[in-house]
Amino acid sequence: MSQPRVTLYGRASCHLCDGAREVIAAVCAELGESFAEIDIDTDAGLQERFTEEVPVTFVDGKQHDFWRVDPDRLRAALRS
């Protein structure tokens, strides 16, 4: 199985993370992609880097969005 193209950095008890996860899951399912999710609170470096921006979305290893995920923008990034 190939590596997920989308990575969601978030934290537990984060309503924005919940919304981002729903959008990402729907778009990935639609396009046959998978995604990984990482809890920033399990790593001090990630917590320091992203604490004010969660959720943060990466596509193909590059930062794509933070706070909110636009489904059309995510689809376009995954189709390119």
CATH number at residue 71: 3.40.30.10
User: How many domains are there within the chain?
Assistant: 1
d(CA 24, CA 32): 12
Query: Along the 80 residues of the chain, how does pLDDT read in single tens digits?
Result: 578 999 999 999 999 999 999 999 999 999 999 999 999 999 999 999 999 999 999 999 999 999 999 999 999 999 98
Encoded amino acid at 21, one letter:
R
Q: Domain span at residue 37?
A: 6-79
**1 within domain boundaries:** no
Nearest CA to 39 among 68, 7, 10? 10
d(CA 20, CA 16): 6
d(CA 8, CA 59): 9
- What SS3 state is found at 57? strand
